[in-house]
Amino acid sequence: MSELFQQHRHIVQGEYERTPLTKQATSVMKFGGTSVGSGARICQVAAIIAQAAREALKTPTAPFPVVVVSAMAGVTDQLVRLNHYACAGKFEACAVEIEQLKQQYVRVVAEVVREEEQYTVLLRELMETLEALERDVKALQSSTEEGQDVALHTAAVVSYGERLSVLLVAAALTDLGVAAEAIRQEVIITAHPQSVGVQPLGSIVGTEPLAQETREQTYKLLWPVVRRGAVPVVAGFIGRTVTGEVTTLGRNGSDYSAAVLGAALDCEEVAIYTDVDGILTADPRLIANASLLASLSYEEATHLSWMGAKVLHPHTLQPLLQSNIPVRVRNTFQPHLPGTVVGSVAPGMSGARALVIRHHMALMTLENIDPLNTSEYVEEVLALITRAAVDPIVICTSSERHISFVIDEQEVDAILALLARETYCWEVRCHHDVAVCACIGSGFITDPMSSVRAVAALDRECIPLIAQGSSVLGLLFVVANDDSEQALRNLHRELIEPEHACCTLRLSTYGTSTSIEKEGMIAKKWPEQECLTQNQEMH
């Protein structure tokens, strides 16, 4: 743990009464929408939490659980529809959605609790919460009609899935004889949603947590519950501004919430419970023999999530890096399995650890054809990309006149619209309908032949390679969307499956280029190979 973090922790903890119980080690247990997707599953989640809580009360060294829950699977989508209906003035559709939610939660209550008095209390709390949802929907309708800013109202509406889940999980724990408390206040303090710019009506607006304020709120709301030996059940995904407005951390932000709370608690571990055994070497729907990874480094896991792997939210690891708190990805339905630990892991001896595909991308190349103007060309293009609010996977320039980048297909029009308004002489080429196969691993420095073997594996199956890139943490291969799944299978067999050994080596000679990549990727000159090399003419 860094000296700076130790000092920061000392300052923050100094503001609170230090008792023996506040030194109790904690772990954050986060359960996603599938894990709490029905009454039966909520009972299973409660059993997992109860076991951890009893172990902590019995064994002083065992961490005490702090629980973070998502909305039940599908509920956030229903709430997003409510936002759209409210913004569009579709009052009858809003009423239908709310009635469906009421019926759904009435059914779940009967599965979650057995004792009649507790059933009555839980049902009343859920109905009161759903009535509050109705009021917020009406407020959103009124704000839309009056032309007011609706960002705060839409955030309030989509927050109700998690608000309802904390009531259900806390009640299920109580039903098992475990003291638990649903934390009704938002623990995470965030920036104001207006700071993220204009968003479409009814969309989920994500804002950034404020670390110091969140730490103070965590000690204020959670530690008193832990002192009493009760399990705090916290709503993931949502927060509150310093002025009291409800906000969210963006779509699928509950993992991120758990990490933020884990950092604020200085917990021993953040456990993300989902519906898979951990992080696999590839998507098992595409690679039948994808295998479970026992461990990954923070950097490897961040790259995988950023490239499209769905197991972790891309921002999950950011709050945990400084204090070196590990994340364990586990299966709710196979809780005896160890899962995958993400933390400070030494690089492996081989290059690739896991593979992922990012579909529906485009490869754009801009070339300056004005012979009289070469100054600051790259900076001009980067500024244009920023203005378009486009998020490239990789940007590469091999000369002062030439720059290429890979972006989502749907972002191409935004770039072209800005280019049309510029006065520079640019030749634009775009290769549509491509995919990026990413081979992620921190051992590429120790296995420099991985790139050679990967290219040879694609060549053997006659898969056209449009472009390729590299860094110390990964190889990127741009191929046609239609070829991407076969490419992934070949790369997995060549780079990861231990029984396969390839002796066919072919390699072209590439020139030197400068890589300017997204934060978290490498941004250096690589004299051995271009970070993005185009292998065929783009049209």
pLDDT tens readout for residues 361-387: 999 998 887 766 666 677 788 888 888
Q: Of the ranges 158-172, 274-288, 313-327, 517-531, which one carries the lowest mean pLDDT score?
A: 517-531
Q: State the helix-helix crossing angle for 160-175 and 151-158, rounded to 10 degrees.
A: 30
pLDDT in tens, 321-366: 888 999 999 999 999 999 999 998 765 556 789 999 999 999 999 8
What is the model's pLDDT at position 49? 98
Give all domains of the chain, ordered by start, each with its CATH number. 3-343 (3.40.1160.10), 354-534 (3.30.2130.10)
Measured CA to CA in angstroms, residue 522 lies from 131, 186, 306, 319, 474 at distances of 50, 36, 14, 20, 10
Please report the pLDDT score of residue 524 as a whole number: 30
Whether 236 has a pLDDT exceeding 60, the answer reads: yes
pLDDT at 240 over 50: yes
Q: How far apart are CA 119 and CA 53, in angstroms?
A: 23
Mean pLDDT, residues 91-114:
95
pLDDT at 528: 32
pLDDT at residue 1, rounded to an integer: 32
Q: How confident is the model at residue 427 (pLDDT cuts 50, 70, 90)?
A: confident
- For strand 340-343 and strand 394-399, is the pairing parallel, antiparallel, or unpaired? unpaired
Asked if the model's pLDDT at residue 310 lies above 90, the reply is no
Residue written as tokens 């997995």? 492
pTM of the model: 0.82
With a pLDDT cut of 90, the percent of the chain lying above it is 55
- Angstrom distance (rounded) from CA 372 to CA 26: 63
Asked if 323 and 263 touch (Cβ cutoff 8 Å), the reply is: yes
Angle at 526 between CA 521 and CA 528, to 5 degrees: 135
The candidate with the shortest Cα–Cα distance to 329, out of 308, 310, 345, is 310
Mean pLDDT within 442-450: 74
Nearest to 321 by CA among 301, 338, 295, 305: 301
The secondary structure element, H or E, covering residue 60 is none
Where do we find the tokens 């990861």? Answer: 496
Cα 354 to Cα 311: distance, rounded to the nearest angstrom: 12
Beta bridge partners of 342: 296, 327
Q: Which two tokens stand for residue 455?
A: 């290219």
Work out the end-to-end distance of the chain between its first and last CA atoms, rounded to an integer number of angstroms. Answer: 51
Q: State residue 387's pLDDT score.
A: 85
Q: In what order do the strands lie in the sheet with 246-248?
A: 189-190, 238-241, 246-248
Could you tell me which of 290, 42, 279 has the C-alpha nearest to residue 174? 42
Q: Is the pLDDT at 506 greater than 60, yes or no?
A: no
> For the chain, how long is the longest CA-to-CA vector?
83
Q: How confident is the model at residue 445 (pLDDT cuts 50, 70, 90)?
A: low
Position 16 pLDDT exceeds 70:
no
Min mean pLDDT across 67-81, 209-223, 333-347, 502-516 is at 502-516
From the list 65, 262, 252, 259, the residue with the least C-alpha distance to 169 is: 65
Separation of alpha carbons 378 and 375, rounded Å: 8
* 58, pLDDT greater than 60: yes
Whose structure tokens read 């650890």? 353
pLDDT greater than 50 at residue 306: yes
For residue 8, give Cα distances in angstroms to 104, 167, 266: 45, 33, 11
With cut-offs at 50, 70 and 90, classify the pLDDT of residue 193. low
Flag the least confident range among 43-57, 224-238, 391-405.
391-405
Report residue 479: phi and psi, to 5°: -135, 170
Mean pLDDT, the chain, rounded, equals 82
Mean pLDDT over residues 253-280, rounded?
94
pLDDT tier at 534 (50, 70, 90 boundaries)? low
Structure tokens given for 388: 């378009």
Instruction: Say which residue, 491 or 539, is predicted with more confidence.
Output: 491
pLDDT number for residue 516: 31
17: DSSP letter: -
Beta-strand ranges (E) seen in 318-389 are 327-331, 340-343, 354-368
Least confident of 21-25, 184-188, 466-470: 21-25
What pLDDT was estimated at residue 447? Answer: 72
Q: Cα separation of 78 and 76, whole Å?
A: 5
- Helix or strand (DSSP H, E) at 293: none
Asked whether the beta carbons of 403 and 369 are under 8 A apart, the reply is no
For residue 66, pLDDT beyond 60: yes
Report which DSSP code applies to 519.
Answer: B
Which contacts (CB < 8 Å, 24+ apart) does range 1-10 have?
1/323, 1/324, 2/322, 2/323, 4/322, 5/322, 5/323, 9/266
Residues making up the chain, counted from first to last = 539
Mean pLDDT of the region 309-317 = 83
Answer yes or no: is pLDDT of 490 > 50: yes
pLDDT(126) > 90: yes
Let me know: does 406 contact 363? Beta carbons within 8 Å: yes
Please compute Rg for the chain using Cα positions: 25
Mode of pairing for the β-strands spanning 189-190 and 238-241 = parallel
Q: How many CB atoms lie under 10 A from the CB of residue 274? A: 23
* Beta strand pairing call for 426-440 and 354-368: antiparallel
CA distances to 395, 414, 470 from 366, rounded to whole Å, are 11, 15, 20
Which pLDDT does position 347 carry in this prediction? 57
- pLDDT greater at residue 102 or residue 508: 102
- Positive or negative, the CA dihedral 487, 489, 493, 496 is positive
